[in-house]
Amino acid sequence: MRIAISSLSGCGNTTVSRLVAERLGLQFINYTFRNLAIDLKMPFEKIQAESKATPKYDYDVDRRQVALIEKTKDCVVGSRLSVWLDDERIRNKIGVQAPAFDLKVWIYAPLNERAKRISKREGKTFARVLEDTLFRDEENEQRYLSLYGINVARFARAVDLTVNTERFTAEQVAELIIACAKKVKAARKTKKK
């Protein structure tokens, strides 16, 4: 089973994706600019800065993430764009098609809640994090629209399940996703019979 989980920053994507993978015994995939920096033996900050001028790093990250997905039949992919990785628009840009996902999930939380979580995690003031998070959301929205023609604000058509993480713990969100994944797997088995 392949599960894709996407979100904006501060929604708990990495934590939830890791929990789902662990509890279902699946490989967890989250390939980022930090991983790319290590693989290319380049400073992360350099890649981050240069990525504003060229799409090559974004395309490389997505290509490498797809390569990791192709190596396993059973995985949870947690990234900003994971629910779109099998989309034709991304395939056309990176030159490879990601395998289809059995379940695509968008997790979200209101901006203030996300900023509160990031502030607590990073030890920064709420006001500063709120401003930074809003800027980052807008920057990422424009980035993915420019790179792939994908509007991350319109996730509804790309996913099977949407979960608001504001009132739930990461463990509870993971359990909701796991319950849905089990239903998808059971339906697939029934269909094969």
* Contact between residue 162 and residue 155 where contact means Cβ atoms under 8 Å apart: yes
- Stated length of the chain: 193
More confident residue, 25 or 192: 25
- Rounded Cα distance between 117 and 121, Å, is 6
The answer as to whether 189 is a domain residue is no
Establish if 185 belongs to a structural domain. no
pLDDT at residue 70 tops 70: yes
pLDDT at position 153 is 80
Tens-digit pLDDT profile for residues 82-127: 999 999 999 999 999 888 999 999 999 999 999 999 999 999 999 9
Number of domains in the chain: 1
Determine which of 53-57, 170-174, 186-190 has the lowest per-residue pLDDT on average.
186-190
pTM: 0.92
Evaluate whether residue 44 is within a structural domain: yes
**pLDDT of res. 188:** 83
Mean pLDDT of 58-79: 94
Helix/strand/coil (H/E/C) assignment for every residue in the chain: CEEEEECCCCCCHHHHHHHHHHHHCCEEECCCHHHHHHHHCCCHHHHHHHCCCCCHHHHHHHHHHHHHHHCCCCEEEECCCHHHCCCHHHHHHHCCCCCCCCEEEEEECCHHHHHHHHHHHHCCCHHHHHHHHHHHHHHHHHHHHHHHCCCCCCCHHHCCEEEECCCCCHHHHHHHHHHHHHHHHHHHHHHHC
What pLDDT is stored for residue 190 in this prediction? 82
CATH of the domain at 145: 3.40.50.300
Is 93 inside a domain boundary?
A: yes
User: Is the CB of residue 125 less than 8 Å from the CB of residue 76?
Assistant: no
Look at residue 178 and tell me if it is in a domain: no
Compute the average pLDDT of residues 41-53. 93
Domain that holds residue 139: 2-171
In a domain, 177, yes or no: no
Cα–Cα distance for residue pair 66/53, rounded to 1 Å = 23
**Residue 7 located in a structural domain:** yes
| Interval 127-179: pLDDT, tens | 999 999 999 999 989 999 999 999 888 877 789 999 999 999 999 999 999 99
Distance of CA 20 to the CA centre of its chain: 13
Contacts of 106 (CB under 8 A, 6+ apart): 5, 6, 7, 83, 155, 156, 158, 159, 161, 162, 163
- Please give the pLDDT value at position 193: 66
